[in-house]
Amino acid sequence: MTTNHVVLGTGAIGRAVMNELVRRGESVRMVNRSGKMDEVPDGVEVVAADLYDQSRVREVTLGAKVVYQASQPEYTQWPEKFPSLQKSIIDGLTGNDVKLVLVENLYMYGDTQGKPMTEDMPHNAHTKKGKTRSELSKAAFEAHCAGKLKVTAARGSDFFGPWGLPTAAMGERTFYPMLHGKAAGLVGNIDVPHTHTYVPDFGKALVVLGERPEADGQAWHVPNDNPHVTQREMVKMIAAEMGIPAKMGAMGKTMMRIGGLFIPEAKETVEMMYEFEQPFIVDSSKFEKTFDVKATPMKTAIKEAVAWYKSHPEKK
């Protein structure tokens, strides 16, 4: 069985792409290591594959017109494993007349000193994960320029929305405690602007890039509503939707270092804390103007996110 759309990875962003494609009436193949996935819509096939094996990449994507790369190693293993994963995917797709749509973040820009980020900013990453992200992006677009395959990329900020997001700054540590009347667990300075990307908007942006040829060879920032909102303001909006008082606490770099002695993911987050100590603002006007697409209004996105968390109790 072949399909025009193959999504590599079944995490939050991969699921958002799937849902957007299903909404458009497309058939979809989802690929992960286990071949298993819950809440699978009609018309979606789930297959298992080791994406570090380029021959398997070729097999599961054969005949596809668009492949969405939403898979990644464990956060603690990015420098060691991410380059080989992406190389395997690019090599497996080369010569298949396919378009590769990459999920990227903003780490490659490094510390912009609070200046709003645009796609033409130089890569000035000073962290190991930021340097890895820069390496991945440059290698992919070099493959595009070499004619190996068509490549485009969507870059999003910190996620919020459905599908759990256990490691996200505005994810499970915020929504689940608030639903139980406890304080949201935040990080850094919660009174500076910090852009958050709504997960379904990320999925929609990736699908738009997949279908539009003018997207090829370029990176694009996913549309974000209210990019200047602070973490404190966002938690107040979430609390208002839940009908509860807004309670929150925040960990700084020192506490994250202490937490890192026991939690590997917390240790890996320390080097990225600059994003939460000063304004972290994303300019998505390029995407919005080119494709005439706007982000979901923040209040609507929060309402939908709260509904999702209420319908998906925390797993113990």
CATH number assigned to the domain comprising residue 271 = 3.90.25
Q: What is the pLDDT of residue 261?
A: 44
Q: In the predicted model, is pLDDT for residue 200 greater than 60?
A: yes
Same domain, 170 and 274: yes
Distance CA 109, CA 119 (A): 9
Same domain, 176 and 273: yes
Same domain, 133 and 238: no
Q: Which of 73, 82, 89, 74 is nearest to 6 (CA)?
A: 89
271 in a structural domain: yes
* Eight-class DSSP state of 193: B
Q: Give yes or no for a contact between 268 and 102, defined as CB atoms under 8 angstroms apart.
A: no
- Segment 151-160 shows an average pLDDT of 97
Same domain, 68 and 108: yes
245 in a structural domain: yes
% residues pLDDT > 70 (the chain)? 94
Same domain, 203 and 254: no
Same domain, 136 and 182: no
Same domain, 203 and 64: yes
Q: Where are the beta strands (DSSP E) in 82-148?
A: 99-104
Same domain, 107 and 188: no
Same domain, 121 and 267: no
44 in a structural domain: yes
Sign of the torsion formed by the C-alpha atoms of 239, 244, 247 and 248: negative
State the CATH number of the domain containing residue 142: 3.40.50.720
Summary mean pLDDT of the chain: 94
Alpha-carbon dihedral 275, 279, 283, 284, rounded to 10 degrees = 60
105-114, 165-174, 178-187, 295-304: which range is least confident on average?
165-174
Distance CA 196, CA 150 (A): 28
Number of domains in the chain: 2
Same domain, 30 and 146: yes
User: Which domain covers residue 53, as residue numbers?
Assistant: 5-158+197-224+284-291
pLDDT (tens digit per residue) in 4-57:
999 999 999 999 999 999 999 999 999 999 999 999 999 899 999 999 999 999
Same domain, 178 and 32: no
- The first and second tokens of residue 241, run together, are 């939707």
- Segment 51-76 shows an average pLDDT of 96
pLDDT band at 3 (very low <50, low <70, confident <90, very high): confident
Residue 100's Cβ-count burial label (10 Å; 0-12, 13-18, 19+) is buried
> Whole-model pTM?
0.95
Q: Which of 128, 248, 121, 127 is nearest to 182 (CA)?
A: 248
145 in a structural domain: yes
- Segment 212-240 shows an average pLDDT of 98
Report H helices in 170-297. Answer: 172-179, 199-211, 231-242, 253-260, 264-269, 285-291
